[in-house]
A and B are shown apart, each in its own frame.
Chain A
Amino acid sequence: MLVNPKSVANHYHRLRASGGLDVVFAFAQNKGAVLGVGIIFFCIVVSIFAPWMAPYPPDQIFVGKYTLPPMWFDGGVSQFILGTDDLGRCLLSRLIYGARVSVGVGFLVSLYAFVVGTLFGLVAGYFGGTIDQVIMRCTDILMAMPSILLAIVVVAVLGPGMFNAVFAVAIVKVPNFIRLVRASTMAEKNKEYIIASGTFGASHLRQMFINIFPNILAPLVVQTTLTFSDGILDIAALGFLGLGAQPPTPEWGTMLADAKNYFLSSPWFVIMPGLCILLVVLGFNLFGDGIRDAFDPRLKK
C-alpha cells in the first residue's frame, strides 16, 4: 500500500515546497507581498527613529500657527511640511510618533491574542471532550457579538485608555486563534509521529508544545499578521470614538476624531492620518497573504 503522493503533480510539489528556503523564494516572487514588507519595514524604521526623524516633538504647540495647510498649498510654510493641526502642532511630527503607537498596539494585540489563543486552542484540540466543549462554547459566545461592540463594552467597563483598549481589542481577536489552533491541533494529533512519541511515554505538555506546536505554526503566522492589521484598525476606531488613546497622545484614530470638525476647511488634516492607517493596514494584509501563499503549495503555480 504505497502512501506515495496520489498524483504526480503532487509529488513534484512535495519536491518543490519542502525546504524553508523555497518558502522565502516563493514569497519573494510575490510582488504584492514584497511591497507589503517594504511598507512594514518603513513603518518600523519610522517608529524606532521617531525622535530623530520628526522635526518637532509631537505635543509642541506653535502659537498662532493653527491649521496651516501642507507646504505645497497656498498659505503653507516650509517649516511645517504637512501643515499643523487645530492646536498648532506639527502634523508630520504627530504622524511619525503615531506610527510608534500603532505598531506597538498592533504588536501587543497580536501577541496577546496569539499567546492566549494558542494556549486554549492547543488544550481544546489536544484533549477534546468536556474541556474542548467548554472552551469552544465560550469562543462561540465571544464570536456571536459584533467585535467592535464587544470592545466598546470592555472599554466601558475598564474605563477609556490605551492599555484598556489594547486589552479589549485583543480579547476580540482571541476566538479566531482558538478556532484555528484547535482545528490544526486536531488534524495533527492523530498523525503517526505524535503516536510514536506517545509510545516513548511523551507527556501531554511535551506533545502539545514540543511536538505539535511547531507543526501548526505556518497558519498561525498568517493569522498573526492579519491580526496585526486588524488590531491597528480597531484601535484606531476606538480612538476615533474617544475610547482609545487619550489626547494628547499622537494616535492616528484619535487624530482623525480631532480633525473631523475641520473636514471642510482643512481636508488634509483628515486625509493624512487616514492615509497612514490605510497604508499600514494594507502593508500587513499584503504581507499576510504573501506568507499564506508561500506556505500553501496548492496555491502555487
Chain B
Amino acid sequence: MKPLLEVQNLSVQFDTLRGKLPAVQQLSFSVTEGEVLGIVGESGSGKSVANLALMGLLPKSSHVSADTLRFQDFDLLRLSSKQRRSVRGGLISMIFQDPMSSLNPCYRVGSQIEESINIHQPEVDSSHRRQHVEQLLQAVGIVDVERVYRSYPHELSGGMCQRVMIAMAIACNPKLIIADEPTTALDVTIQAQILELLAKLNREKKMSMILVTHDIGVVVEHADRIMVMYAGQAVETGKVDEVISHPQHPYTQALLHALPGYHSEREHRTPLPSLAGLVPDLIHRPQGCLLSPRCPFVQDRCKSEEPSIEIVSGRVCRCFYPLGSSGDPS
C-alpha cells in the first residue's frame, strides 16, 4: 500500500552566526493511513524541526532539501503558496505544545474555530458553521459546549484549551495530525485524557498521526511505530514493542535504561545507568558516528566512519554493531 506521507532524505539547515547548523540530516520515514508514528528524542534532536519543515513553517534562515517529500499526491517541496494553505489545516493539521499561546487571547474560542472552518470551507454558511463548531466541541469531549463556545482562552484551563486546539485541528477532517508535544504542558491525569482523545480520533476517524514527544511512555501506549532521533538523525525505527523490548541502537537502549520506571523490579535508589557527556555541537560535529563520543560499545570504526541506515528484518537502525536481543552487540 502506498503510504500517506513519504519522506526521503530530508535535511534542514539553519544559518547561524557561528556557521551552518544542520538541525535535521537525511531523515526518512513514512506514515501509512490510520497509523500513529511516535517520534522520540531529546531537545535539540531535530524532531520538531522536521515536522515544521513538513508544514513549511520554518523561518527564512533555514534551508530545506529532500529527495522526496510527498503527501498523498502533493509534492510538499513544490507547492504554490495557495496549495500549501489548503494542504495545511485542510489535509494536515498540527497541534502544538502550549495550547494557551496557540490560541489568540483577544477572540472567543468559538469564533476562532469558526474562522478556521471559514478559511478551508468557505461554502458552509454561518448558521451551519455554528452547528459544526458545537459538534466539534462535543467530539473532543467538552460537556458544556455553550459555555466554552463563548469563553476567551484565558478563562479555560490548559487541558480545555488543548481540547479546543484539537477541535480546530480536526475541523476539516484532516488525513494527518502532527501533534508536537501535545501533553507536555499538562498534568498527568489531563495528559491521559488528551491522549485517550487522540487515540479515539485515530480509531474512529482513521486519522493518521505523528506524535512527537520526549516521553517514551506516551509513545509506548499510543503509537504503532516509533522513530528515535539523536542529533538530527533517525537512529532507530520500528514497531513499538520490538524497539522497546529489544532496542538495537545503543542510544535507544541508553534512553530506556535511564528511565527510572523502565525496570519495574529495579532496586530502590540504585544509580540509573546514563550516557556520559552531552549531545554534540552540531556545528562542529564529531567525526564518524554522532554517538561515538558517548557510546558505551564504541569501536575504532565508529570514530572514523559514519554509519548509514541498515534495514534488518523490518527494523531500521543506524549502527555498525546493532545490539542483539541480550542487549550487547552481536
Contact of B58 with A16 in the complex, beta carbons under 8 Å = no
Instruction: Return the chain A residue nearest B186 by Cβ.
Output: A1
Chain A residues with Cβ below 8 Å from B184 are 1-2
Interface of B is mostly: loop
Question: Contacting A2 at CB < 8 Å: which of B49, B60, B61, B214?
Answer: B214
Task: Kindly state the separation between the CA atoms of A178 and B195 in the bound complex, as whole angstroms.
Answer: 48
**A1-B184, A4-B43, A6-B101 given; A12·B60 CB < 8 A:** no
Whether A12 lies near B16 (C-beta < 8 A) is yes
Q: Tell me whether B16 and A8 are in contact (CB under 8 A).
A: no
Task: Please determine whether A9 and B181 come into contact, CB atoms closer than 8 angstroms.
Answer: no
Chain A residues near B181: list those with CB within 8 A: 2
A26 CA to B21 CA, complexed, in Å? 18
The answer, yes or no, to whether B149 is at the interface (CB within 8 Å) is no
B17:A1 contact, CB within 8 angstroms = no
Bound complex: CA A300 to CA B166 (Å): 32
CA distance A45 to B230 in the complex (A): 55
| B97 beta carbon closer than 8 Å to chain A | yes
| B314 surroundings in chain A (CB, below 8 A) | none
A2→B185 CA distance, assembly (Å): 7
A2 vs B182: C-alpha distance when bound (angstroms) = 12
Q: Are B52's CB and A8's CB within 8 A? A: yes
Report yes or no: A1 in contact with B14, Cβ–Cβ below 8 A. Answer: no
| Chain B proximity mask over A1-28: 1 for CB below 8 Å, otherwise 0 | 1101011110110011000001001100
Interface size on A, residues (CB 8 A): 15
Total A-B residue pairs with C-beta atoms closer than 8 Å? Answer: 35
B280 at the interface (CB under 8 A from A): no
A137 / chain B contacts, CB cutoff of 8 Å = none
Number of interface residues of B (CB under 8 A): 23
Q: Is the CB of A22 within 8 A of B52?
A: no
Is A301 on the interface with B (CB-CB < 8 A)? Answer: yes
Chain A: minimal CB distance from B219 (Å):
16
Which residues on B sit within 8 Å (CB–CB) of A2?
43, 97, 181, 184, 214
The verdict on B98 contacting chain A, using a C-beta distance below 8 Å, is yes
Check A9–B58 contact: CB distance below 8 A: yes
**How far does the alpha carbon of A11 sit from the alpha carbon of B214 in the complex, in Å?**
16
Q: Taking the nearest CB of chain B, how far is it from the CB of A21, in angstroms?
A: 9
Q: Is the CB of A11 within 8 A of B44?
A: yes
Nearest Cβ in chain A — how far from B61, in angstroms?
7
Q: Is B59 an interface residue (CB 8 A)?
A: yes
Q: Does B233 contact A (CB under 8 A)?
A: no
Give the distance to chain B from A1, nearest Cβ to Cβ, in Å.
Answer: 6
> Nearest Cβ distance between residue A199 and chain B, in whole angstroms?
26
Given the complex of chains A and B, what is the CA–CA distance between A26 and B16 in angstroms? 12
Q: Is B248 an interface residue (CB 8 A)?
A: no
> Taking A1-B184, A2-B43, A16-B16 as contacts, is the C-beta distance between A9 and B214 under 8 angstroms?
no
- Cβ < 8 Å to A, chain B residues 1-49: 14, 16-18, 21, 23, 43-44, 48-49
In the assembled complex, the CB of A7 is this many whole angstroms from the nearest CB of chain B, namely 8
Q: Is the CB of B98 within 8 A of A6?
A: yes
Between A and B, 9 residue pairs with Cβ closer than 8 Å are A2-B97, A2-B184, A8-B58, A9-B58, A11-B44, A12-B23, A26-B17, A301-B60, A301-B61
The 6 nearest A-B residue pairs measured at CB: A8-B48, A9-B59, A4-B43, A6-B98, A2-B184, A8-B49
- Starting from the known contacts A2-B184, A6-B101, A301-B61, 4 additional A-B residue pairs (CB-CB under 8 Å) come to A1-B185, A7-B96, A9-B59, A15-B16
